[in-house]
Amino acid sequence: MALKTTEEYLNSLRQLKRKIYVMGQLVDDPVDHPLIRPSINSIAMTYELALEPEHEDLMTCTSSITGEKINRFGHLHQSTDDLVKKVKMQRLLGQKTGSCFQRCVGMDAMNALDSTCYEMDQKLGTDYHQRFRRFLEYVQTNDLVVDGAMTDPKGDRSLAPSAQVDPDLYLHIVEKREDGIVVRGAKAHQTGMINSHEIIVMPTVSMTEQDKAYAVTFAVPTDAEGIVYIYGRQASDTRKLEGGSIDTGNVKFGGQEVLTVFDNVFVPWERVFMCEEWEFAGMLVERFAGYHRQSYGGCKVGVGDVLIGAAAVAADYSGAGKPSHVKDKLIEMMHLNETLYACGIACSSEGRKTASGTFLIDLLLANVCKQNVTRFPYEIARLAQDIAGGIIGTMPSEHDLRHPEIGPYVEKYLQGAAGVPTENRMRIIRLVENLTMGAAAVGYLTESMHGAGSPQAQRIMISRQGNLQHKKKLAKNLAGIEE
């Protein structure tokens, strides 16, 4: 069973027994919970499109491990063409869902881990790569959703992991046993965690020898004993509990972020891929961050396509679609969006083969891509709000529109261009609101800023990889300077 259907995916989630809290309440059935289901629908789209012949080339590929047809989200990139198709796939899914579809983190973790484990084994004589490949074969064969868990709560940011007052503020090994290890800590901001079957845990920063207990990487099922999930809040999230569909903006899809607590979780040795090899923590972090920064050149562009379209429709519905200044704003939005896409394609096309055979993106261009992502979506959102108008923050609710007494007033006074139903105008305005300051803004804007590392993290990598000394030599040579 290399490719699951949507229904098989939903049924597989129902079989998991996990401790999940949403707004202080223990949830028995997350699949049909109104706050959670939109995010599940987004992941379900990754299964649905994989079975459509029209999208087969982007959504599926041949496994380098089993030789079978698999979902691309479980694939190890074997060429620059694979890297490019990854970005194109992410743009497609962003267009289809208008939200975060959540499987990118796991895909990026698996690719970063494959090359890191191989090089760790080559130097240290360990067998982590063989363990990891066995795990990945299991993931591919069963078409599982894997979440990558890197971000620790971090506590006092001025202190190293081993120097924290509370040692659990970075996830760490608390016991090594004959049959495995026991870990404790938490991973924050975990995208799609409740919608996943497996978790790959990674260190969040480069380590020193004093931090070696924190240099740990492993995989566990999401229903492993000792894991507790605490669902994150999003702006306007309780609109999903109100009934109706207009005020949610995106009527079917959404994202998800979770605080994931590991309370003395046991991990068998066959699922441990790094255990105190602190000198390789930085390599894993750098490669994962690079892959994930590449991802944002696809997913955020797809959601940007939706937002640009929504802004244009809002202008048409209000009768403001023809003025040149509105057209110019839409052109600027498209220019910014396509620039992000160009960066994603560029870092993919300039990728290279690693020692394990897996292809790595150009890390400098990937960091440039993500640096632009920390800026351009905010300008696209600003222009979308400008075009949509002030009604984006003052519009009455769907309940008012449906009310027998005041509904006719809403219908009459929120009318836009002649022939456009008021309900349609309200729907598109709510979508712009959702994408720029509602629940979807977490996936489009907050993730654009902080996902895959803060803007300063990319600037540090650009400084390291930009080869400034080479640029100085070029300038001196042309200026006729000899030193």
pLDDT value at residue 162: 97
Torsion of CA 134, 140, 143, 147, to 10 degrees: 70
Whether 229 shows a pLDDT value over 70: the answer reads yes
Percent pLDDT > 70 in the chain is: 100
Q: What angle is formed at CA 109 by the lines to CA 107 and CA 114, rounded to 5 degrees?
A: 100
Among residues 46, 60, 116, 191, which one is catalytic? 191
Q: 3-class SS at 258?
A: strand
Say if CB 102 and CB 43 are below 8 A apart.
yes
Statement: residue 142 has pLDDT above 80: yes
Of the candidates 52, 109, 117, the residue with the CA atom closest to the CA atom of residue 75: 109
Q: Domains (ranges, CATH) in the chain?
A: 6-282 (2.40.110.10), 287-474 (1.20.140.10)
Catalytic residue among 33, 75, 100, 248: 100
Separation of alpha carbons 98 and 106, rounded Å:
20
Q: How confident is the model at residue 129 (pLDDT cuts 50, 70, 90)?
A: very high
Q: Establish whether 141 is a catalytic residue.
A: no
Phi, psi torsion values for 21, nearest 5 degrees? -115, 130
Q: In terms of DSSP H, where are the helices of 322-451?
A: 324-349, 363-373, 376-388, 398-402, 407-413, 422-437, 440-441, 447-450
Q: Which residues contact 126 (CB under 8 A, 6 or more apart)?
A: 120, 277
> Would the pLDDT of 186 be above 70?
yes
Tokens representing 46?
């990754």
End-to-end CA distance of the chain: 65
Contact 208, 245 (CB under 8 A): no
DSSP state of 166: S
pLDDT at 2 over 90: no
In the chain, % helix, strand, coil (3-state, to 5) comes to: 55, 15, 30
Instruction: At 213, list the tokens.
Output: 């207990």
Catalytic annotation, pick one of 104, 117, 275, 343: 104
**Going by C-beta distance under 8 Å and a sequence separation of 6 or more, which residues neighbour residue 473?**
none
8 given a catalytic annotation: no
3-state secondary structure of 80: helix
- Residue 204 phi/psi, 5-degree rounding, is -100, -15
Answer yes or no: are the C-beta atoms of 313 and 145 closer than 8 Å.
no
Query: Is 257 an active-site residue?
Result: yes
Q: Which residue is catalytic, options 61, 275, 299, 369? A: 299
pLDDT at 91 over 70: yes
Q: Is 354 a catalytic residue?
A: no
Nearest Cα to Cα of residue 303 among 140, 98, 78: 98
Among 344, 207, 193, smallest CA distance to 286 is for 207
Q: Which of 292, 354, 398, 433 is catalytic?
A: 292
The candidate with the shortest Cα–Cα distance to 274, out of 95, 106, 117, 385, is 117
Q: What is the pLDDT of residues 306-365, one digit of tens each?
A: 999 999 999 999 999 999 999 999 999 999 999 999 999 999 999 999 999 999 999 999
- pLDDT value at residue 1: 61
Cα gap 434→237, rounded to integer Å: 10
pLDDT at 80 over 90: yes
- Residue type present at position 102: Q
Which of 257, 277, 286, 433 does the annotation list as catalytic?
257
| Catalytic residue flag (residue 55) | no
| CB within 8 Å of 154: residues ≥ 6 apart | 169, 170, 204
Return mean pLDDT, the chain. 97
- Show the tokens assigned to 140: 């591919």
Active site residue 299: yes
Q: What percent of the chain has pLDDT over 90?
A: 99
Catalytic: which of 47, 214, 296, 444?
296
Average pLDDT over residues 135-164: 97
